[in-house]
């Protein structure tokens, strides 16, 4: 009996070690808690993030255990990537946004148009009458297809009250500029006091694929009798663009 218990403990220990290695160096699951990346990522989406996409920093490990700001095997991210990062404000909270600006880039909104390095980012309206979530609020928005360095994605802009004009943001060396796809419902790099420019060492990984999705407004996963309404089967194994 004692041998069986010890064998079970060893098996559990090895399983935990393997899970920790996978989570730290390969893939980590994340949950989408807000509307800031709609319509591309929905509340209730669960996705895998590649931990090796940009190399490894202290934030690759659970609880960010050290204070060393060094990145090993670092690879530069690309504009348009959807990335999980630790917010500069506390180095703890996970945010997921789209990478807009690289070091040295300038970003500005002028009369509602999005400018990158003094050139307007071309966009094509794909829907003229659409609503989207912003927490408990419903926004009336226009959907536009935008493209950054060959990456095409859908961005939502509020029909009334969208961001019109901003100062010019200049991304410092070693930092990046992020925005949510739900442009008027996202706390991101435009808010310099709370998010601002994100250091390369704060990048956690690249969002790759949705492996599960559940509409919590229709019922949590444990409420199996509501699965026919709550589970979004069409979003399973959807590649993140």
DSSP letter (8 states) at residue 109 = E
Given this model, what pLDDT does residue 1 score? 72
pTM > 0.75: yes or no: yes
Given this model, what pLDDT does residue 155 score? 95
CA distances from 113 to 86, 125, 151 (A): 28, 13, 19
Given this model, what pLDDT does residue 220 score? 65
User: In angstroms, how far apart are the furthest CA atoms of the chain?
Assistant: 75
Given this model, what pLDDT does residue 211 score? 95
Rounded to whole angstroms, the Cα distance separating 108 from 114 reads: 6
Given this model, what pLDDT does residue 91 score? 86
The answer to whether the CB of 200 falls within 8 A of the CB of 177 is no
Given this model, what pLDDT does residue 213 score? 93
Residues belonging to the active site? 36, 97
Read off the tokens for 190: 């435009």
Given this model, what pLDDT does residue 70 score? 77
The answer to whether the CB of 45 falls within 8 A of the CB of 210 is yes
Low-confidence ranges of the chain (pLDDT < 50): none
Q: What residues contact 140, with CB distance under 8 A and at least 6 apart?
A: 129, 130, 131, 158, 159, 160
| Closest by CA position to 36, among listed 204, 181, 146, 208 | 181
Q: Identify the structural domains of the chain with CATH numbers, from first to last.
A: 2-239 (2.10.109.10)
């Amino acid at each position: 009996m004692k041998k069986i218990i010890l064998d079970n403990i060893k098996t559990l220990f090895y399983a935990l070690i393997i899970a920790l290695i996978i989570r730290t160096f390969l893939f980590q699951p994340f949950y989408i808690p807000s509307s800031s990346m709609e319509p591309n990522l929905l509340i209730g989406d669960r996705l895998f993030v590649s931990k090796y996409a940009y190399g490894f920093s202290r934030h690759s490990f659970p609880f960010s255990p050290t204070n060393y700001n060094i990145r090993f095997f670092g690879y530069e991210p690309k504009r348009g990537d959807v990335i999980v990062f630790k917010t500069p404000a506390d180095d703890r909270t996970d945010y997921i946004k789209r990478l807009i600006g690289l070091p040295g880039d300038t970003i500005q909104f002028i009369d509602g148009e999005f400018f990158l390095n003094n050139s307007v980012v071309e966009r094509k309206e794909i829907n003229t009458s659409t609503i989207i979530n912003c927490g408990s609020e419903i926004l009336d928005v226009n959907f536009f297809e935008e493209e950054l360095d060959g990456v095409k994605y859908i961005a939502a802009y509020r029909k009334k009250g969208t961001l019109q004009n901003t100062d010019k943001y200049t991304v410092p060396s070693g930092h990046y500029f992020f925005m949510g796809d739900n442009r008027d419902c996202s706390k991101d790099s435009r808010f310099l006091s709370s998010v601002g420019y994100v250091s390369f060492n704060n990048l956690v990984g690249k969002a790759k694929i949705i492996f599960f999705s559940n509409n919590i407004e229709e019922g949590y996963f444990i409420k199996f009798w509501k699965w026919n309404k709550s589970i979004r089967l069409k979003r399973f194994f959807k590649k993140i663009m």
